[in-house]
A and B are shown apart, each in its own frame.
Chain A
Amino acid sequence: MKRADISRLVKDNIIIIALALPVILLTMTASGFMTVSNIKNIFIQISLYGIVAFAMTISIIGGEFDLSVSSLLGVVTILFTDIAKRVNVPVAILVCVSAGIVVGLINGFMVSKLKINAFVATLAMMLMLKGFALTYTNGRPINFPNPALNAFGNGDFLGMPNITLFFLGAFLITWYVLRNTKFGRNVYAAGGNLVVAKMVGINVDFYKTMLFVILGFATSVAGVLMAMRLSSGNTLFGGDLTMSVVAGVVIGGTSLSGGRGSAVKTFWGMLFIGVLFNGLQRLAVQANWQDVIKGSILIVVVSVDAILAQKIPLSQITTGRKRKEQISALPRDV
């Protein structure tokens, strides 16, 4: 193995090394960190957001971005509790999943057909969804004390929390789709270089729309599970969803400029966030300082990621100056 190969291996798996350090240190210092119940806790904490994080990974690889998931999650919890109360649970699940897909389709339509910038389109959607849910409920959360559903949302299956099984399922599906299917390859292509993707005949509009549909679907699943877990619906649930999820994806090493990243990276990224939050609480760090630490870590990680991202492709492209210029002249769709 050459020295360069080792250095590349380290760079590619930096998040695992980064994760190992706090884990070792916390195991040594915070009593009860390395226990089955605490590890379970960490996984429970990241499971629901994690489901959305994998969908967001696909979307960021495909070069798009969605601010509206945070509002959608709240809307889904409201819809689920309200309909489950008035009609029944299967109908509620059906309506919620359809709502997620419809919101995704509208976002996708705005971005791919109306050519509205994804940030603006999903910002508008975020406001509209939140306004809709708050108007509908007049700002009041809805309670739904149903012991069976609550037991499902908080229960275990073969020692694994149910919601963590959903998280692992989402991970495996995303991993498989991105790695082994034509769809996955085309998402990488569309996010990596829009112009080239169009030239080789990929239906870019379809893929862009699908990114939002997948996100809508994943968010609705997470929303239904959250409503079951908390026995209630609230517009404010998931207020920090978008940012936590994007942070997890980026910390894992998926590039915000599109075309690069993987489900495995996001898995480690979310786990890093879970360990960090759990560790900060276990060490009883004062709440305001927790925010300072979290914010600083985000800035550092993204900065370093951006620097590394610039260095790797340049060293890969060794076919001369002309090619480099050609590639850099192509527009990048952020």
Chain B
Amino acid sequence: MATVRVQAGPFDVGAETAALTAGRTDIGGIGCFLGTVRAGSGERRVAAMHLEHYPGMTERAMQRIAAEAERRWELLGCTLIHRTGPLAPGEPIVLVLAAAAHRQPALAATEFLIDWLKTRAPFWKKEIFDDGTEAWVEAHDADDTAAARWRERD
């Protein structure tokens, strides 16, 4: 069973990794993706990011995404943590851990998990700029393209 959490506060990558591997000797590798808030490179710099989610549906969607990864790669464990609320540039925002017997499924599952998390879990980002203006982040076609790589053939 995957560990899935939506939380306002920070997470500890070391503690989450330790929890995933506690008492186990069958795990050969853990893939890790740690997403952080970018300040951006445009004229306006991002002063803060605000993350909104759909309590209930977001957790259900994350559980399903984790279950799909476990089905496809025979994972030995999996952790998905996504933060909400206000976040400053540089702060960690999302953590994906995928444990498997070997590196290949661990790394592939990690890529799959973040691709699907970005396109199938209900979260919305709003950027607050240093000039006081704000804007909701638009969905990117590149994210849909990345997620479509994992479509299974019938």
* B is bound to A: no
Question: Interface residues, chain A, CB within 8 Å of chain B?
Answer: none
Question: Interface residues, chain B, CB within 8 Å of chain A?
Answer: none
